[in-house]
Amino acid sequence: MAGRLTGKVALITGAASGIGRATALVFASEGARVVAADRDLAGCEQTVSQIEAQGGQASAVRVEVTDAAQVETTIQAALHKFGQLNILFNNAGTAETAISIMDMAEEEWDRVMAVNAKGVFLGIKYGAAAMLKAGQGGSIINTASVAGVVGYAGHAAYSASKAACLHLTRTAALELARANIRVNAIAPAFTATPMVDELAASSRDPERAMKKLAQAIPLGRLGTPHEIANAALFLASDESSFMTGAVMTLDGGLTIQ
Ligand SMILES: NC(=O)c1ccc[n+]([C@@H]2O[C@H](COP(=O)([O-])OP(=O)(O)OC[C@H]3O[C@@H](n4cnc5c(N)ncnc54)[C@H](O)[C@@H]3O)[C@@H](O)[C@H]2O)c1
């Protein structure tokens, strides 16, 4: 094992799939003990099996990130299982299918905001409390999106919720800096996960939609979950020890145009 996270315990939400699962595997391969949390417990258990198959240590927990009691219980479960919490990756997220603001149901706005904004708030609230109590500092990473940096037509709730995630990141970074708890965000563009598959599947011609997404990116392709995981690894590790409140953009050049 390479060991960039040796001795650390990481809790990852959205770990049943996509970016969260890839990050769980990368963190574990670098020596972290991983708590894989998601509302999809079976998916988490698969992630744990993959980690164990590569010789790592991990545990699966079901969590609904919009539920304060469940988030608090999940933090406690991580402490109980592995005795400490050094890294928290608030990564669970959801998106609406493309729809104009005029046609978006109020319930859909609330659903997306609850997962992507409130879910990150609750993760920070209870995760930072545990880190403060332990007094060892820590690293919190939040998955935003380039949609939180620039507007995203057809995805008002997603875009607004990811912008909220970025400002939560900055505010938490300021509140927690003196305790050496660093809070950073990653902002990926289209990445090859089930979330993007669903986005393409909701269009009339999914194959063409996927090609269009790739063409919109200057590097000419979607990102891979592993590429996003590597950025999270850097933020989780001590190599980023002077970074807090920062946003790492991983978008193949999309937002520099
Ligand atoms: N894939 C992309 O193109 C892309 C781009 C930018 C940002 N992101 C963000 O990356 C993160 C991970 O997404 P992904 O692309 O890996 O998608 P994904 O659909 O593969 O994974 C998302 C995971 O979050 C879990 N989840 C959703 N709502 C939850 C809830 N309320 N409680 C607990 N778990 C919940 C799902 O069960 C799923 O396992 C999300 O925050 C997403 O917004 C994705």
CA of 41 to the centre of ligand 1 (A): 14
Helix (H) or strand (E) holding 119: helix 119-134
pLDDT tens digits for range 206-228: 999 999 999 999 999 999 999 99
CA of 17 to the centre of ligand 1 (A): 7
Taking every pair of Cα atoms in the chain, the longest distance, rounded to a whole number of angstroms, is: 53
Q: CB of 94 closer than 6 A to ligand 1?
A: yes
Mean pLDDT score across all residues of the chain: 97
Mean pLDDT over residues 120-141, rounded? 98
Q: Where are the domains of the chain?
A: 9-188+223-250
pLDDT at 40 > cutoff 50:
yes
pLDDT at 2: 62
pLDDT at 165: 98
State the DSSP string of 83-111. S---EEEE-----PPS--TTT--HHHHHH
The CATH number of 9-188+223-250 is: 3.40.50.720
pLDDT at 214: 97
In 3D space, the residue among 69, 91, 87 whose CA is nearest the CA of residue 78 turns out to be: 87
Atom 23 in ligand 1: residue holding the nearest Cα: 14
pLDDT at 1: 46
Please confirm, yes or no, whether 158 is among the known catalytic residues. yes
From the number of C-beta atoms within 10 Å of its C-beta (0-12, 13-18, 19+), residue 184 rates as: buried
Mean pLDDT over residues 149-165, rounded? 97
pLDDT at 73 > cutoff 80:
yes
Atom of ligand 1 nearest to the CA of 186: 7
Atom of ligand 1 nearest to the CA of 147: 6
Count of residues making up the chain = 257
Percentage of the chain with pLDDT > 70? 99
Mean pLDDT over residues 191-216, rounded? 94
CA of 116 to the centre of ligand 1 (A): 9
